Amino acid sequence: MSLSQLSEIYLPAIELKLQNVVSMAAGSDGLTDEMRYMLAYHMGWDDNHAGPSVHGKRIRPLLVLLVASATDGNWEIALPAAAAVELIHNFSLIHDDIQDSSPLRRGRVTVWKKWGVPQAINAGDALFTLAQEALLDLEEHVSAQTVLIASRRLQQTCLALTQGQYLDLSYEARGDLNLEAYWPMVGGKTAALLSACTELGAISAGASEHICDAYRRFGRDLGLAFQVLDDLLGIWGDAALTGKSTESDLVAGKKSLPVLYALEANGPFAERWSQGPISALEVAELADQLEDEGARAYSQARAAEFTESALSALAEAEPRGAAGLALTELADQLLARKT
Amino acid sequence: MSLSQLSEIYLPAIELKLQNVVSMAAGSDGLTDEMRYMLAYHMGWDDNHAGPSVHGKRIRPLLVLLVASATDGNWEIALPAAAAVELIHNFSLIHDDIQDSSPLRRGRVTVWKKWGVPQAINAGDALFTLAQEALLDLEEHVSAQTVLIASRRLQQTCLALTQGQYLDLSYEARGDLNLEAYWPMVGGKTAALLSACTELGAISAGASEHICDAYRRFGRDLGLAFQVLDDLLGIWGDAALTGKSTESDLVAGKKSLPVLYALEANGPFAERWSQGPISALEVAELADQLEDEGARAYSQARAAEFTESALSALAEAEPRGAAGLALTELADQLLARKT
């Protein structure tokens, strides 16, 4: 079975599990219907606009299940972990949208914009709790010790997420950033949760410590490679350059890897950057300038390195069967975007 | 040993455990010093203003340890649970302060006021995670199964907290409230965490299900009685009536039990309430009006009922030794405030 065939089996099971977690929390002692609706709306189960176009591709829980299946053959035991990582991802999105004042997410009004900041903070907190609760359901299939290992792993991940978010928020106000500032931030914001996905899949399936560690490194380096490629696309991708240049990360002022590389080099780009916001009209010229200063080549080299180490860690994990092949396919898809 | 003598032993141990949880999270892969400082500041470990006057009385972790000691004699095994409930309490305070736009807490500037809303949301999320992590340390002394029971109990508590907060926030905008609206809100906002404190103390000490349940009811009813007394003090307490009447809950527009009772009765008080904010000058007269309509007597009767059922549940739990006596002393202290 290919990745798309496996996805056709896994994705409905993930959605059902997520909906069960939120529904089980409702009831006499739990969430009222109004509050449940707020969570369902964010998760993309709103009646009018349901489906992948509003709830995203569920890449993270898919990774959990693929790893569990590639380790042990039984993906269903890992469903609680799959639900947990997706709920953590969504809790962080609700809080991110408040922190960034984003009015829209996937074409729909964000939770804070619809219900106000106080209720949105609280809705995020509720999803955070539900993630914790979902993970405990692992107990149905694995030992209590293993559940505790998984829970500890989830807490480390959440702590890394908050640390990454702290750095991201504090960088907004700083002008003295350099390359060193980049890795701790994306390590927390992107790589931590992806490494938790792959490692929790392996832990759920009862893999050895060595295999769990190989999957952890696979997820982490996949996340880092993905983030660097995303940064490249944000400056040299079609949408950023030839489409709407207002979508360029340069206009958004994002401190992405190519930008931080150039700030450290302290050449003409750094000088222009220090003079204030970049307009859409300057985007093409400044992208060329960045490339001349070596920022594009440097970032491409980092992306290639992380891609290689991710795939080498995956090989070390000795993934089996159709899911094993599908993991490589998923990594290729994530990393093969045109830059 | 009396309550105050036991507190002299427990409180430094609680503080040390809390500081360890936050410090252990720091380091190469964890929190940076700046972020750790933000958490330490909120917890009241700021160098300039440390101590109980800024970090509160730590009643919740004290309850956990007293129950563990009264159940089994060994309070130290329950320190992870004590740290967890205090961290949950503080996570909710950081988010509450944002939601209520409160600039001060115990005489110090609040986290959102000092570092901005985005960083404060994130700091709350970090304490939430640390609470989860702290609880897992129970594993050093109890079985993995017991840790999972405790963790599930913590998640139910956090879900009840978010549900209570949802109701509290949504009531602000509503004019059609009645008595029925009160209990689910305070059940979530006040009673849920106190019932978790007493039950987690018992679970940590390996008590039977029956004893755990009795302690759960003790904590819940103690919380409800405490909240109703707090509501009474907010209108008929010295500070509210004869001191600064600007401190009256009537001026703050708080939908407390006496007010909701009178709104349901729909008499002269309800009519005045519907006409807009109450000024400090009206406080004495409206407090009399509330009393004439029976709101004070009704609330006092409810407080007495919950106090009685709390103490009866405590008796059912058969608390032992000095800690057992101290639990009664603590309950008496909490409930004996002048109304």
Portion of chain A with pLDDT greater than 90, in percent: 80
pLDDT at B244 over 70: no
Q: Which of B118, B122, B148 sits opposite A139 (nearest CB)?
A: B148
Who contacts B82 (Cβ-Cβ below 8 Å, separation ≥6)? B14, B17, B60, B61, B62, B64, B65, B201
Beta bridge partners of B104: B109
Q: Name the residue with higher pLDDT: A64 or B255.
A: A64
pLDDT at A79 over 70: yes
| Residue A213 pLDDT class (50, 70, 90 cuts) | very high
The DSSP result for B84-102, as a single string, is HHHHHHHHHHHHHHHHTT-
Q: Which residues of B touch A38 (CB under 8 A)?
A: 166
pLDDT digits (tens, 9 = 90+) for B262-307: 999 999 999 999 999 999 999 999 999 999 999 999 999 999 999 9
Using an 8 Å Cβ cutoff, are A43 and A90 in contact? yes
Residue B2: C-alpha distances to residues B64, B73, B91, B124, B324 (Å): 16, 15, 31, 35, 10
pLDDT at A313 over 70: yes
Mean pLDDT confidence for A152-163: 96
What is the distance between the alpha carbons of residues B141 and A256, in angstroms, rounded to a whole number? Answer: 46
Q: Which residues of A touch B99 (CB under 8 A)?
A: 117-118, 121-122
Using an 8 Å Cβ cutoff, are B81 and B200 in contact? yes
Say yes or no for a CB contact (<8 Å) between B35 and A166.
yes
Say yes or no for a CB contact (<8 Å) between B169 and A145.
no
What is the CB neighbour count within 10 angstroms for residue A175? 8
DSSP 8-class letter at A176:
-
Output the pLDDT for position B48: 66
Q: Which residues of A touch B24 (CB under 8 A)?
A: none
Output the pLDDT for position A24: 80
Say yes or no for a CB contact (<8 Å) between A152 and B136.
yes
What is the distance between the alpha carbons of residues B122 and A91, in angstroms, rounded to a whole number? Answer: 11
SS3 B31: strand
**Which residue of chain B is at minimal alpha-carbon distance from A98?**
B118
pLDDT at A320 over 90: yes
Say yes or no for a CB contact (<8 Å) between A32 and B152.
no
| Residue A224 pLDDT class (50, 70, 90 cuts) | very high
Say yes or no for a CB contact (<8 Å) between B128 and A128.
yes
The two structure tokens encoding residue B71: 């159940």
pLDDT digits (tens, 9 = 90+) for B170-183: 988 777 788 988 99
The whole model's pTM is what? 0.95
Interface test with A, best of B102, B115, B121, B180 (most A CBs within 10 A): B121
The DSSP result for B48-76, as a single string, is GG-SHHHH---HHHHHHHHHHHHHHS--G
What is the distance between the alpha carbons of residues A275 and B57, in angstroms, rounded to a whole number? Answer: 51
Q: Which of A95, A151, A170 sits opposite B125 (nearest CB)?
A: A95
What is the distance between the alpha carbons of residues B163 and A80, in angstroms, rounded to a whole number? Answer: 23
Interface test with A, best of B155, B193, B195 (most A CBs within 10 A): B155
Who contacts A110 (Cβ-Cβ below 8 Å, separation ≥6)? A94, A97, A98, A102, A103, A104, A120
Chain position carrying tokens 């029976």: B294
What is the distance between the alpha carbons of residues B34 and B20, in angstroms, rounded to a whole number? Answer: 17
Portion of chain B with pLDDT greater than 70, in percent: 95
Using an 8 Å Cβ cutoff, are A83 and A65 in contact? no
Interface test with B, best of A94, A127, A129 (most B CBs within 10 A): A129
Mean pLDDT confidence for A296-305: 96
Q: Look up the ipTM and state it.
A: 0.94
pLDDT digits (tens, 9 = 90+) for B42-65: 999 976 666 667 777 899 999 999
Residue A257: C-alpha distances to residues A30, A300, A309 (Å): 44, 10, 19
Q: Which residues of B touch A154 (CB under 8 A)?
A: 132
Residue A63: C-alpha distances to residues A146, A162, A194, A212, B79 (Å): 19, 22, 8, 14, 36
Mention the CATH class of domain B3-335: mainly alpha
Mean pLDDT confidence for B308-332: 95
Using an 8 Å Cβ cutoff, are A147 and B144 in contact? yes
pLDDT digits (tens, 9 = 90+) for B99-113: 999 999 988 999 999
Residue ranges per structural domain of chain A: 3-222+310-335
| CATH number 1.10.600.10 is the correct assignment for the domain at A3-222+310-335 | yes
- In one-letter notation, the amino acid at residue A276 is G
| Residue B96 pLDDT class (50, 70, 90 cuts) | very high
The two structure tokens encoding residue A113: 């914009």
Cα-Cα-Cα-Cα torsion A298, A300, A304, A306, nearest 10 degrees, comes to 70
**Which residue of chain B is at minimal alpha-carbon distance from A99?**
B118
Tell which residue, B197, B123, B135, has the closest CA to residue B161.
Answer: B197
Mean pLDDT confidence for B153-172: 94
pLDDT at A26 over 80: no
Say yes or no for a CB contact (<8 Å) between B118 and A129.
no
